[in-house]
């Protein structure tokens, strides 16, 4: 179940930390977020080291569909409704700045960068789409309403934004990683005010950035209540049409589409990790009905951290952790959000004022309806009298027949049938698992 990206990019290798080192900023996590943070910090003249417990981009980054777009579902009309148009405008400006930086980087590094229109469509709610178009136009994006799309079904409407982009994320990440100070197979086992302890040495640092997808430190920040994880699936099809753009359903359980190198990626089957969902079955039924000549050449799955209000958490880890920072909760839009995180955190490291800090602040209010849902789900997982249990916070695990894994519906940790860790926030696997 390797993604198409792992077959098309050459991975550089880095040594394991074997001795004590010192740096100004320690970045924990070697996905595209950590790599971009290290790159932007280095460019700004900040000494930094990246520590990755496995190999770089071996987690969520390798399974993205890799869209570089400011169009994150219907985020702008929803953000304007909740927080006002100024917050929506600042969110947009941060995404546009990220896109501009990607455009510059992708010109220097061959990574199959391609600019195309992006669409968010609704199958049954025209008014939702109209509100998003109106909001985007008001805050400065020439978005258009359309029903003319290159997909095998009709829609109530779609938001179209031109000059968005898609790329090969591993080609870019591996290209910029070669010039960075990175230690692979270097697991952080303890955080201290003066740095971190690994299994083979100490990394002394003044500040720490946690870029581990789901933050692993529970005693600060309450991320175990502020986020849950959502799983989704992708088929790469040959003998399928060019859809001339990037598409996503405004419904989080809907489908997405994009082309790459003669293939069509069809995504969907989404569900909360640890719960039942459509999985690849939905995608297989779809392509057999709508693209009968198509053949799958690759399939994979990924999962995303979902926040309480649809906006990532980027900034100080918590009010009580002065020199620790975090980038998480990208709500299925990890590419531009990773770049926003790198740029915003670099500004914070440099003491530079930024208008975006309050928008993405991890310490903003948690009084949102999703908090109650997360709390109920966590209590249900804790009280469910089944085994095995997740070592993260003790929730019951559920067997995932589609992917042959044990999954936690509370916070999204996943384990193989033999107990090895697949996805965090758990930091270790389990020694034994019962027969499925």
Q: Any bridge partners for residue 283, and if so which? A: none
191 vs 431, higher pLDDT: 191
Question: Does the pLDDT of residue 215 top 70, yes or no?
Answer: yes
User: Hey, what long-range contacts does 17-21 have (CB within 8 A, 24 or more apart)?
Assistant: 17/51, 17/183, 17/186, 17/198, 17/200, 17/201, 17/203, 18/200, 18/201, 19/200, 19/201, 20/201, 20/202, 20/203, 20/204, 21/49, 21/201, 21/202, 21/203, 21/204
pLDDT of residue 197: 95
pLDDT of residue 200: 87
Q: Which residues contact 156 (CB under 8 A, 6 or more apart)?
A: 121, 122, 123, 124, 125, 126, 129, 147
Question: Does the pLDDT of residue 131 top 90, yes or no?
Answer: yes
pLDDT of residue 44: 97
Task: Give the mean pLDDT of 394-399.
Answer: 90
pTM recorded for the entire structure: 0.96
Task: Give the mean pLDDT of 83-107.
Answer: 97
Question: Does the pLDDT of residue 432 top 70, yes or no?
Answer: no
In angstroms, rounded to a whole number, what is the distance separating the alpha carbons of residues 341 and 330? 10
User: What's the pLDDT band for 383 if we cut at 50, 70, 90?
Assistant: confident
Question: Does the pLDDT of residue 220 top 80, yes or no?
Answer: yes
pLDDT of residue 388: 87
Question: Does the pLDDT of residue 317 top 70, yes or no?
Answer: yes
303 vs 252, higher pLDDT: 303
Place of tokens 């405008």: 89
Question: Does the pLDDT of residue 356 top 90, yes or no?
Answer: yes
Instruction: Say yes or no: do domains 5-64+170-225+310-360 and 369-423 share a fold.
Output: no
Place of tokens 């080291």: 49
Residue spans of the domains in the chain: they are 5-64+170-225+310-360, 369-423
Architecture of domain 5-64+170-225+310-360: 3-Layer(bba) Sandwich (3.50)
Question: Does the pLDDT of residue 186 top 70, yes or no?
Answer: yes
Q: Please state, rounded to an integer, the average pLDDT across all residues of the chain.
A: 95
Question: Does the pLDDT of residue 329 top 90, yes or no?
Answer: yes
Question: Does the pLDDT of residue 278 top 90, yes or no?
Answer: no
pLDDT of residue 436: 74
In angstroms, rounded to a whole number, what is the distance separating the alpha carbons of residues 93 and 97? 6
Architecture of domain 369-423: 3-layer Sandwich (2.102)
* 3-state class (DSSP) for residue 54: coil
In angstroms, rounded to a whole number, what is the distance separating the alpha carbons of residues 302 and 67? 14
10 burial type by CB count under 10 A (0-12 exposed, 13-18 middle, 19+ buried): exposed
Classify the C-alpha dihedral 340-357-38-34 as positive or negative. Answer: negative
Q: Which residues contact 285 (CB under 8 A, 6 or more apart)?
A: none
Cβ atoms within 10 Å of 276's Cβ, excluding its own: 11
pLDDT of residue 252: 85
Classify the C-alpha dihedral 35-36-39-42 as positive or negative. Answer: negative
């Amino acid at each position: 179940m390797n993604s198409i990206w792992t077959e098309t990019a050459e991975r550089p290798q880095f040594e394991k930390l074997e001795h004590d080192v010192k740096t100004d900023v320690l970045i924990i996590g070697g996905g595209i977020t950590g790599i971009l943070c290290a790159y932007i910090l280095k460019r700004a003249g900040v000494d930094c080291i990246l520590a990755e417990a496995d190999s770089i981009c071996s987690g969520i980054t390798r399974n993205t569909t890799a869209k570089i777009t400011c169009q994150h579902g219907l985020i702008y009309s929803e953000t304007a409704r909740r927080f006002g148009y100024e917050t929506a405008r600042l969110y947009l400006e941060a995404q546009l700045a990220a896109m501009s930086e990607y455009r510059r980087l992708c010109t220097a590094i061959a990574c199959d960068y391609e600019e195309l229109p992006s669409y968010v469509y609704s199958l049954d709610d025209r008014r939702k789409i109209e509100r998003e178009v109106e909001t985007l136009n008001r805050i400065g994006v020439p978005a258009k309403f359309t029903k003319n799309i290159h997909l095998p079904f009709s829609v109530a409407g779609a938001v179209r934004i031109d000059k968005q982009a898609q790329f090969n994320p591993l080609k870019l990440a591996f290209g910029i990683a070669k010039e960075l100070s990175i230690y692979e197979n270097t697991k952080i086992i303890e955080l201290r005010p003066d740095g971190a302890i690994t299994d083979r040495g100490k990394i002394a640092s003044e500040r720490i950035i946690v870029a581990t997808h789901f933050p692993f430190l529970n005693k600060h920040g309450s991320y175990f209540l502020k986020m849950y994880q959502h799983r989704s699936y992708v088929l790469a099809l040959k003998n399928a049409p060019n859809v001339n753009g990037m598409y996503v359903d405004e419904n989080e359980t809907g489908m997405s589409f994009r082309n790459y190198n003669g293939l069509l990626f069809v995504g969907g089957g989404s569900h909360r990790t640890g719960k039942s969902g459509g999985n690849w079955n939905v995608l297989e039924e779809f392509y057999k009905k709508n693209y009968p000549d198509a053949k799958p050449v690759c399939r994979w799955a990924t999962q995303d951290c979902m926040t309480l209000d649809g906006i990532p958490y980027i900034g100080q880890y918590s009010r009580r952790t002065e020199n620790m920072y975090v980038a998480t909760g990208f709500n299925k839009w990890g590419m531009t959000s990773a770049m926003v995180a790198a740029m915003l955190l670099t500004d914070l490291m440099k003491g530079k004022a930024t208008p975006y800090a309050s928008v993405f602040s991890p310490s903003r209010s948690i009084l949102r309806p999703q908090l109650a849902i997360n709390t109920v789900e966590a209590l249900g997982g804790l009280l469910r009298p089944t085994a095995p249990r997740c070592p993260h916070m003790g929730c019951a695990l559920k067997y995932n027949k589609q992917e042959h894994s044990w999954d936690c519906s509370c916070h999204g940790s996943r384990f193989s049938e033999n107990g090895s860790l697949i996805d965090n926030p758990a930091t270790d696997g389990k020694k034994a698992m019962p027969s499925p």
